[in-house]
Amino acid sequence: MISFSTLLKVAIVALFIQIPTWLDQRDTKVLLKYPKPPVPEYGRVTTIQHSKATMEKVASFYDQFSVDDYASSYDMYYEAQTENCNSEKNLVVVSGTNGATYLYWDLIEHFRKQGYCTLNYDYRSHGRSSAAPGIFTAELLGEDSAAIIKKVFPGKQVHLVGLSLGGAVSYYLSLNYPEMVKSVTLQGMTSCFGKVTADGNCDLGFDALKWFFSTGPMLKILGTELQHTAAVAAIKAHDTEETKNYWRYLSVATMTKTPLTWGLWNKEYYHNRIKNIKVPVLLLAGEHEHLIGFDDNSMSEDVKRIGKLAEHQIFKGFSHFMWWERFNGKSGLELSMSAMDTFYAKHF
């Protein structure tokens, strides 16, 4: 006769076998309920293929990985609008973690109306781009970004607008491809990817919030919509349909893989090197971003290190997701775009 303890062990094993399947089914139902918007007529796919030298460069940033840990190619989805615009006014949206092109259409439309040529694209395994194996790092995403920018705007300089992780990628591009960059706007990002200490250096202490939102098993359990609930509680994201949509379109693979790039970001390296940036830099953040370190101190330190071409602005009542929020009747995205308009008018 089978003992109770044996039955209990079998039940526990069966439960852990079934949980991953149940979680995938739960998140698949969300994707089916909230399908991606239709592909616009200017949507395209191109194969990104990096050289051996580029992959060796990417791998050189981290001792724990080799070239074989990265995928050198994938099919990138992108949206380039280069007709009926000023060929000297080129703007590129560099997405945040888990972001996708359709989340930035309002931003693109705003600058298109002002005569900008624009580029909006999906990272590997994001949005409509193909899934890619291997490690993801900001440096790898930076090389992907450089490849598509060169394809769409060959020989031209571009204004970079980077949200969160996209801000990290934008810093990478500014330092490694200075000939390509005309200006940089960072929304919810600093070189330290968080707080600074009293002496102006990066706080290298344990960051519980970033750990929580970058741990694969935890994110797997939370799934898509529950991540929104967690963000509302932890970082004061506004509880709206627009902010919920940031997660609803996610694939589980993207959701649990890309956040690991946060922990790999070499804070001290970039915090020291941003002194070499020679183009105008605008840092923007919502008031509640102080919860993840993007506060007046951290932004002021980046401005100080970059110099007189840099400035920062913080918007009261908004969170890290202010582009999809409203506060006191005002749109966070419109406030950010207005700040960018003023910034560009001042420098260009």
- pLDDT of 58-76, one tens digit each? 999 999 999 999 999 999 9
- pLDDT of 118-136, one tens digit each? 999 999 999 999 999 999 9
Candidate ranges 97-101, 105-109, 255-259; pick with highest mean pLDDT: 105-109
Q: How confident is the model at residue 32 (pLDDT cuts 50, 70, 90)?
A: confident
Question: What Cα–Cα distance (Å) separates residue 212 from each residue in 188, 220, 260, 286?
Answer: 18, 12, 11, 21
**Residue 260, both tokens:** 């690991």
Q: How confident is the model at residue 231 (pLDDT cuts 50, 70, 90)?
A: very high
pLDDT over threshold 50, residue 42: yes
Higher-pLDDT residue of 239 and 247 is 239
pLDDT over threshold 50, residue 8: no
For residue 10, what pLDDT is reported?
38
pTM: 0.93
Tell me, letter by letter, the H, E, C secondary structure of 179-244.
HHEEEEEEECCCCCCCCECCCCCECCCCCHHHHHCCCHHHHHHHCCHHHHHHHHHHHCCCCCHHHH
For residue 9, what pLDDT is reported?
44
- pLDDT of 244-272, one tens digit each? 988 888 876 677 788 889 889 999 999 99
With DSSP H G I counted as helix, E B as strand and the rest as coil, what are the percentages for the chain, rounded to 5?
A: 50, 20, 30
User: Which residue in 60, 199, 76 sits closest to 129, CA to CA?
Assistant: 76
